Amino acid sequence: MTERTSSESQELVIVLDFGAQYSQLIARRIRECHVYCEILPHDTPTQAILARRPKGIVFSGGPSSVYDDGAPLCNPVLFEAGIPILGICYGMQLMAKLLGGEVAGGGRREYGKTEITVLDHGDLFQGLNPRLIAWMSHGDRVEKAPPEFVETARTAGVLGAMSDRRRKLFGVQFHPEVVHTPWGIEVFRNFLYEQCGCSGTWTTESVVASSVEMIRKQVGKGKAVCALSGGVDSAVTAALVHRAVGEQLTCIFMDHGFLRRGEAEQVVRTFGENFQVNLIHVQAQERFLKRLAGVSDPEEKRRIIGEEYAKVLEEDAEKLGDVEFLAQGTLYPDVIESGTREAARIKTHHNVGGLPETLKLKLVEPVRFLFKDEVRAVGEGLGLPDEIVWRQPFPGPGLAIRILGEVTAERLETLREAEAVITEEIMAAGLYRRLFQCFGVLAPIRSVGVMGDQRTYGSTVVLRAVTSDDAMTADWAQLPYEVLSRISTRIINEVASVNRVVYDISSKPPATIEWE
């Protein structure tokens, strides 16, 4: 993860990533405490870490054993730098091994909810009950704490937490970042406020101020265009860049033909009329459909759409003359899922992995290090309307990747009608803001049905509804049966080519939220 340029006065906590699946959750919990943090690879040079002058450091968990060949390590110099450190799971085991404790491999494993007995309430457990339920997921364990450490919590036979108050070094065997440890946020607060001396200055107002400062510094007196899609990410990006550089920004809203019903009109109304932003509305539906003719592979679809998107942007930017910068709404989950040092590529996003290397414009990505809920908060702070701020996530390639198989004008209209029904019924049931995403997928399946005493051979729409905090993980939503019934009945009655609706009950992982 690259370093974010921010105000020098901003409090910073660094999360060193040892390959944990929960590193992003650690970052989210810290930010919920109004403290800014960044995730860096575990092998980031020590001098680079210290140069950032962090208020604290958190060692993440990870899948390795400290006894594995090539196990991820850290420089022990960090322990003597006077910076408070919290080690979680593998991070605690690593701390114990490097500082002279004893770590046992295998043996007594703990997975899932486990009872913890607090032995010392003097630091991380301040204000918490003496008996707690926490989430464990480990094989190795700390058999003996290092010299100068005291045991502060214990499970049935396993050291649960340890502290060296003089050096402000702390370790916990459980995972305070997951929802299954409901009091875990208090552990972070005690670490951040009582041990690191943080004051909680990272707020929506400070995010806006630092982002505007960063944009002005990057763009200077140059011209910028913003790839406006209608979703909250690009909308907040446009609003931030407009606040920073005003008339230097022109928004290019590209209707590639893969939008939902009424979306184009709403974007034009919000930015062209209400915000008075320079706006170009590009009608490129036929151009994109022609490029996708005969294409079924999802990665190829994304690559083509990303490539064409960049071409159209550059063409329209050239018409404006002397444009140097392209602003787009890349989020942190986009970056993770498009492949980083610690995560394999899951899928290509048109605004991360699909842009050609020949792109002439320099990227401006002010929300690149924010999660979705943080972007929404910034949007509210900027005065964007609720219909934009609370719009559910919508992929850059739009309906094209919710159509499995070839994308045609006819199939787009079928899915567009089905999506409209889904959205109307979810809103009518008061569920829209309780769901992270709810949408339809047009499957490449036709099946036999009976309608009006006649045999049909129609299409299948898959209903997908999930709950999630940040898109890194997601659970399928247990929608009320009556809502499912209304959606199914309306789609089959109102969308002529569809005779079957099915409900996706897969979670992420192992599935992804989108089907392609």
Residue 57, phi then psi, degrees to nearest 5: -130, 140
451 token code pair? 């309608």
Is residue 74 annotated as part of the catalytic site, yes or no?
Answer: no
- Residues 451, 493: Cα–Cα separation, whole Å: 9
Helix, strand, coil fractions of the chain, as percent rounded to 5: 35, 25, 40
How many C-beta neighbours within 10 Å does residue 173 have?
30
Sequence-distant (6+) residues with CB within 8 A of 78 are: 46, 49, 57, 85
The per-residue pLDDT for range 293-307, each reduced to its tens digit, is 999 999 999 999 988
Q: Which of the residues 89, 196, 226, 438 is marked catalytic?
A: 89
233 token code pair? 């990410």
Q: Which of the residues 34, 42, 138, 175 is marked catalytic?
A: 175
Q: Which of the residues 177, 365, 417, 419 is marked catalytic?
A: 177
Provide the pLDDT for residue 471.
72
Sequence-distant (6+) residues with CB within 8 A of 95 are: 59, 79, 85, 87, 101, 146, 169, 171
CA distances from 120 to 21, 31, 198, 213 (A): 29, 26, 23, 44
CB burial of residue 429 (10 Å; 0-12, 13-18, 19+):
middle
3-state secondary structure of 179: coil
In the beta sheet, which residues pair with residue 171? Answer: 87, 162
CA distances from 380 to 8, 241, 364, 390, 394 (A): 25, 15, 21, 9, 19
Contact 208, 219 (CB under 8 A): no
- Residues 494, 421: Cα–Cα separation, whole Å: 9
Provide the pLDDT for residue 337.
53
**E-only strand ranges, 49-191:** 56-59, 85-88, 102-104, 110-118, 131-138, 141-144, 150-154, 159-164, 169-172
DSSP β-ladder status, 498-503 and 249-255: unpaired
Task: Identify residue 196 by its one-letter amino acid code.
Answer: C
Task: Identify residue 359 by its one-letter amino acid code.
Answer: L
The per-residue pLDDT for range 107-138, each reduced to its tens digit, is 556 666 889 999 999 999 999 999 999 888 76
pLDDT along the chain (516 residues), means of 10: 45 91 87 92 94 96 87 94 96 95 74 86 94 83 93 89 96 91 95 96 91 95 88 90 94 90 85 80 93 94 90 86 88 60 44 54 89 90 88 89 95 96 97 95 90 80 91 89 97 94 94 92
3-state secondary structure of 17: strand
Is residue 242 annotated as part of the catalytic site, yes or no?
Answer: no
Provide the pLDDT for residue 310.
83
Contact 275, 253 (CB under 8 A): no
